[in-house]
Structure 1
Amino acid sequence: MIWDSRRLTQLIDVARGRVPAERCLRHCRIVNVLTGRVETSDLAVHGGFIAGWGHYEALESIDAENMFLCPGFIDGHIHLESSLLSPIQFCAAAAPWGTTAVVADPHEMANVLGLEGIRYLLEATDGLPMDVYFNLPSCVPASPLETSGAVLRGSDLFPLLRHPRVLGLAEMMNFPGVLASVPEVIDKLLLFQEHCIDGHSPQLSGLDLNAYLAAGISSDHECTSLQEAREKLSRGMVLMIREGSQSKDLARLLPAVDDHTWPQCLLVSDDRHPDDLLREGHMNAIVNHAMALGLEPVRALTLATWTPARHFRLGRQGAVAPGYQADFTLSPTLTPWVPQRVFKKGREIARNGKILVPGDLFQSHSPPESPMALAPPSPEALAVSPQPGLLRVIEVQEGSLFTRQLLVTPKVEKGQVAVDLDRDILKLVVFNRYRSDCPPSLGFVRGFGLRKGAMATTVAHDSHNLMAVGTNDNDIVHVVETLRRVGGGMAIGSTEEPVAVLPLPIAGLMSDEPAWEVVERLEILKARAASWGCRLHNPLMALSFLALPVIPELKLTDLGLVDVSTFSFVPLFQTQ
């Protein structure tokens, strides 16, 4: 907002009651996150800002019908790409649930398209009826243990710091690099010392945690236990309590929020998948879950409004008070919070779950071309010869990004290590989609339960190569080839049945279709996976995190099998 004397003088005059407000909401029960109380009053709005509470004349009066009114929700850490929706379609899906601002990490897009991808997101989020702020990605690539589509150094990020919606540096996943004072990491930390620097440090403790915080990093959304959360809070860290579609930490970490620590806590989604977004909501669903777990309602709302605004220094957002941006929602009940009407800068943008903004706003911006340099795959390239020792197998855990390492005696058929359906051991493959001359990386996984066919996706955190899991090599190759031809997306099928595909033309990460259409296609994929024996709630999303080499314990990247605890490659077979 650029102020001038006329705008400021007019707001002062309205607040004093000397001239009528643009509109006044009558009979509100205002959730005051500054005091923790609910107060009944009228609310005057003018020029996109709150003029004040009390008796006001207005050009337009809206009867709030004694509904509760609270600030618009702010998601303090989200990857827009994980919604599988373009920024415009994400806004259309999330705003009706009461979200009026998000702080996004364009890490996924940047790993595929570099600066070009970040600039696309900045352009595509400009002028939306939702404030989309950004923290610039700190780790592109996420680690030296994988191949991404780009490499971004501090000098590459520097020109973007001047953008008004860039707030700071996003999750510093390379905590070993911080602790070792790796020059490239230090350069980025120095560049952002006067800005917010978000963290990502699962299980970091003691002196190493001290060192990580001393580098200027101020938050974490990767706590694995209540004890870890309390230690980080005690040392001044802001606790982002995540309740996303894939990783759910709220029940475990909520006891860390008390009368002393709540100002250091906020609720975040991190990743919100499109089906969850349409059916359950966004921040409203997390707030309601926190209430159901026993968190006092006004405090729950505060952790999705006031505390994220304070952490990210959003000076006129996060509260309903004079001079604040007029972002708020109305709900007939305090608990659960059911956003029936949503206002952004004083203008109603959604009602009863439907966006009210004119459709011409939701025109797509042309994204950069999505990379797909992968050559046609062959079954022969997927063969694994047996070796001495036990086979390392990745075990998936439902509702968590963490995996376990299993050591098993391999099943051998025709001189090759084979899939073992009786023990639910499937083949896992990662193809480098940025280069045509790289062989696939091979591994094995347990926990999918798939009895036939194969699944593949170009949403494969964090470098987003093409990843597949399957019951046999021919099906894996068939599904991968189908996905290669469409240029990226998610797919499931076999050589005996048609391959079902969700195309993701924007960087192989996002669709440009409306949310309902994306969800329809995703449901087809999930239903087929379930009919073929898969036990996971969202198998393609679970698959997408098996290449993430910064979350313990064992992962597979395009370069090989990674032991995250040692941040190093390990062979497929462990010898005695």
Structure 2
Amino acid sequence: MDNREEASKDTVLAGDTKKQQKRILAAAGKIPPDLILHGGGILNVFTGEIEYRDLAVYDGMIAGIGHYADLVKVDWYTKMIDCTGHIICPGFMDGHIHIESSMLSPAEFAAAVIPHGTTAVITDPHEIVNVAGLAGLDYMLQASEGLPVDVFVMLPSCVPATSLDESGAVLMARDLAAYMEHDRVLGLAELMDFYGTAAAREDIIDKIMLTQKFKKVIDGHAPGLSSYGLNAYVAAGVSSDHECSDQEEALEKLRRGQWIMIREGTAAKNMMALMPLFKKPYSSRCMLVTDDKHPGDLIKQGHIDYLIKKAVKNGADPITAIQMATINTAAYFGLTGRGAVAPGYIADFVILKDLESITVEAVYKRGKLAAGKEIFDKSKADKADQSPISVKPGKTYEWNNGKRDELLGSNNQSGVFHSFHLKELTAEDFYCNESGNTVRIIELVPGELLTKEVILPCIESYKDIVKLAVIERHHNTGHIGLGYLKGYGLKSGAIASSVAHDSHNLIVAGTNEGDMCLAANQVSRNQGGLAIALEGKIIGELALPIAGLMSGDSAEQVDISLTNLKHIARRLGIKEGIDPFMTLAFLSLPVIPELRLTTKGLADVKTQKIVKTWF
């Protein structure tokens, strides 16, 4: 290091020292803070108390809690916010989400959730990485930089999910090593291959040991795993699970030392079955997560604020629920200085109307207003001014540094923006060549991601059975898995999607081969997305050109298209209570019991083997 580098380093250190000195002096009440919030109740997530004091913010950090309006001579640049009658709590954190499943780019996802009080998410980008490999991971890290919501990343552990999948890439420990030092990478994402983990498969153990070397966390995904298999899974180093569907399963995993992520998303809704976990001592080891959330649900329901509201409505203590969406998440992931409103913490906080309705009135990110109204003086403002400001769709936000257009079209990541490598399909590709006296069928379980295996003597005499196909789209292998699906409700036409967890091949359900072919080819031409065909015509579509998973449009715009497609699907017979696209998306994921369909054929999840459809 030459003298110029030494001088530059000293200058940076000196600047940091002066900033820290001023923060301390602001906390001590010796210099005015940048912002004082007066009159509100501050939710203390450490003790569960509400403190009626001033909240002082300086340089994007919480300076302190006390009587700052009286203690210091407020300078001309100090903002004073009257929060009388309101509650100030930490910004909400989603401990496990796949941003790609919102069908939104990271910038538009952030714009959709920040008005709901979300200030940080921990995402597993395994959807896009299964499609585009490391180019997909690079895209997500770049596209999520500088957003109003802090996006932390867990490195995908299962690309592909299992050997029964054909994905666009295969990642080993050596591929992940260079990313472990990234300041927004927190660990290894959900180990879906819990069979391979419990069997101590070498490639999985390599990823675990790499993560442990960097002292980072390892998330789990092990629906129904118990007893000695669970012992092995936890002993391997897996410290959380978001797949618990009942109290007994969750308690066993808590007893073995795992943290439980209580999931309530668009497809999987486990909260009601896990309400007992909102009480001590269990709640201190639990977090609230969404996993997968469609744009319409984000707009109409909300994000983590919706989970807190639902929990409170069903008997949970609101302070406990907020702790599970803030400090617990920060503690699990080792995010020091986040998840609380306390001196020295990052000034990410939410102003709530009250603890009954959990209505988000304003959101502050590093001490600056990110969404909502800045003045809450009921004596001076009429009721019309009290509603939160909604983020306008399609806006290139200042916090994204003008990168939105660059990220959506000009960075030449061919694996991200041109991800379909597939021949033109014909109706003959969807004919089943197997034969036998009985047929093995996938049956949906209402309200769950789980499926059942059903064996029938024939299919002609049974109603509500449609054909299902999964077509490999990454390497043009020509592989097509064919099967049958019961309980979906489709009466005519076909529905195709490139959102098919986790390898995201092209999945199609239909009543006839011609419409299945038409819908599949339309998705391919669009470089991904959704399409519905009926009687030889495309009657609805949504293009998702970012890896076949995401749109560059706003949440509002995507929701309009998606809502229209869902209405069409309902007219074609899809049952109420079944999300036609989210449900379809999980039918090819061979890590959730019992039966799935991949490009290789029907997969028995418990045995991890391909089985015959007809026999």
What is the TM-score when the length of structure 1 is the normalising length?
A: 0.96
Of 10, 22, 39, the match for 1:27: 39
Deviations 1:212-257 (A, max 9, x none): 1111110001113211110111111101110111000001012134
Task: State whether residues 268 and 447 of structure 2, in contact with CA within 8 Å, keep that contact through their aligned partners in structure 1.
Answer: yes
Q: Aligned ranges for residues 527-542 of structure 1 at < 5 Å? A: 527-536=567-576, 537-542=578-583
Secondary structure of the 2:341 match is coil
Q: Which residue of 1 aligns with 2:441?
A: 393
| Offset of residue 360 of structure 1 | 4.3
Say yes or no: does 1:73 pair with 2:92: yes
> Structure 1 pair 15/196, CA: closer, same or farther in 2 (3 Å)?
same
Q: Match for residue 319 of structure 2?
A: 298
1:282 aligns with 2:303: yes
Choose from 98, 121, 137 the match for 2:140. Answer: 121
| One-letter identity of the residue aligned with 1:409 | P
Q: Which residue of 2 aligns with 1:453?
A: 493
Aligned pair 1:551/2:592, yes or no?
yes
Using the TM superposition, give the Cα deviation of residue 292 of structure 1 relative to its aligned residue in structure 2, in angstroms: 1.2
Residue 409 of structure 1 corresponds to: 457
- How far, CA to CA, are the matches of 2:590 and 2:330 in structure 1? 31
Please state whether the residue corresponding to 2:567 is helix, strand or coil. Answer: helix
Match of 1:192 in 2: 211
CA drift of 1:63 comes to 1.1
Question: Which amino acid letter does the alignment assign opposite residue 124 of structure 1?
Answer: A
Amino acid at match of 2:305: N
- Aligned partner of residue 180 in structure 2, secondary structure: helix
- Of residues 260-269 and 50-59 in structure 1, the stretch that sits farther from structure 2 once superposed is 50-59
The CA deviation string for residues 340-388 of structure 1, in whole angstroms up to 9 with x for no partner, is: 1000100010011523997344524135323111111111121124623
Equivalent-residue separation in structure 1 for 2:338 and 2:251 (angstroms) = 28
Following TM superposition, by how much is the alpha carbon of 1:260 offset from its aligned partner in structure 2, in angstroms? 1.5
Pair 1:138 & 2:157 matched: yes
SS at match of 1:545: helix
| One-letter amino acid matched to 1:264 | R
Q: Is residue 92 of structure 1 aligned with residue 140 of structure 2?
A: no
* Corresponding residue number in structure 2 for 1:518: 558
Per the TM alignment, residue 146 of structure 1 is displaced from its structure 2 partner at its CA by 1.1
Give runs of ≥4 in structure 1 deviating > 4 Å. none
Match of 2:341 among 308, 320, 331: 320
Structure 1 unaligned segments of length 5 or more: list them.
413-419
State how far apart, in whole Å, the 2-side matches of 1:570 and 1:175 are. 20
Rate the CA distance shift 1:37–1:359 in 2: closer, same or farther, 3 A. same
Greater shift in the superposed pair: 85-94 or 529-538? 529-538
Alpha-carbon distance in structure 2 between the residues aligned to 1:217 and 1:186: 11
Find the aligned partners of 1:445 and 1:200 in 2 and give their Cα distance.
25
How far off its partner does 1:410 sit?
2.0
State the match for 2:254 in structure 1.
Answer: 233
Mapped to 2, the partners of 1:131 and 1:436 lie a distance apart of 37
Find the aligned partners of 2:324 and 2:158 in 1 and give their Cα distance.
Answer: 27
State percent identity of aligned pairs: 43
1: CA distance, partners of 2:537 / 2:601:
31
Within the candidate set 397, 403, 424, 1:359 is matched to 397
What amino acid is aligned across from residue 597 of structure 2 in structure 1?
Answer: L
1:563 matched to which residue of 2? 604
Match of 2:381 in 1: none
Does structure 1 retain, via aligned residues, the 8 Å contact 2:518–2:538?
A: no
Q: Is the 8 A contact 2:148 2:399 kept in 1?
A: no
List per-residue Cα deviations over 1:290-349 (Å, max 9, x = no partner). 111111110011100010000001110001111111111111121221111000100010
Residue type matched to 2:123 in 1?
A
Aligned: 1:12 with 2:60: no
Equivalent positions of 1:368-447 (< 5 A) are 368-385=416-433, 387-411=435-459, 423-447=463-487
2:369 alignment partner, one of 338, 348, 352: 348
Secondary structure, counterpart of 1:170 in structure 2: strand
1:571 positional shift = 0.5
* 2-structure distance, mates of 1:315, 1:55: 26
**C-alpha separation between the residues in 2 aligned to 1:317 and 1:439?**
47
Give the Cα–Cα distance (whole angstroms) in 2 for the partners of residues 436 and 210 of structure 1.
41
Distance of aligned partners of 1:353 and 1:241 in 2 relative to their CA distance in 1, 3 Å threshold: farther
2:26 touches 2:32 (CA, 8 Å); kept in 1?
Answer: yes
Which piece of structure 1 moves more, 286-295 or 144-153? Answer: 286-295
SS in 1 for 2:175: helix
Equivalent residue of 1:452, what SS? Answer: coil
Q: CA deviation at 1:130?
A: 1.1
State which drifts further: 480-489 or 147-156: 480-489
User: What residue is the counterpart of 1:173 in the other structure?
Assistant: 192
Three-state SS of the structure 1 residue aligned to 2:581 is helix
- Quote the Cα distance in structure 2 between the aligned partners of 1:388 and 1:125: 51
Contact 2:363 2:369 in 1 (8 A): yes
CA distance in 2, matches of 1:358, 1:16: 39
2-side partners of 1:203 and 1:217: how far apart?
Answer: 15
CA distance in structure 2 between the partners assigned to 1:456 and 1:522 by the alignment: 13
TM-score, normalised with respect to structure 2: 0.90
Contact 1:79 1:271 in 2 (8 A): yes
Instruction: Note closer, same or farther for the CA distance 1:353–1:219 as it changes in structure 2 (3 Å cut).
Output: farther
How many pairs does the alignment contain? 566
Does the Cα contact within 8 Å between 2:42 and 2:53 map onto a contact in 1?
yes
SS in 1 for 2:50: strand
In the alignment, structure 1 residue 509 sits paired with structure 2 residue 541: no
Quick one: distance in 2 between partners of 1:459 and 1:116? 18
1:467 corresponds, among 494, 498, 507, to 507
Deviation string 1:490-545 (CA, Å, 9 cap, x unpaired) is: 11122344331110010000000011110000011100000111104410110010
Aligned residue in 2 for 1:416: none
- CA contact under 8 A between 1:349 and 1:355: conserved in structure 2? no
- CA distance in 2 between counterparts of 1:48 and 1:361 reads 15
Letter in 2 for 1:469: A
Match for 2:56 among 44, 47, 50?
44
The residue type paired with residue 244 of structure 1 is G
What letter is aligned with 1:31? L
Q: Determine the structure 1 residue equivalent to 2:65.
A: 53
Q: Is the 8 A contact 1:241 1:254 kept in 2?
A: no
Select 1:267's aligned residue among 284, 288, 294. 288
Tell me, yes or no, if the aligned pair for 2:278 and 2:321 is still in contact at 8 Å.
Answer: no
> What is the root-mean-square deviation in Å for CA atoms of aligned residues?
1.6
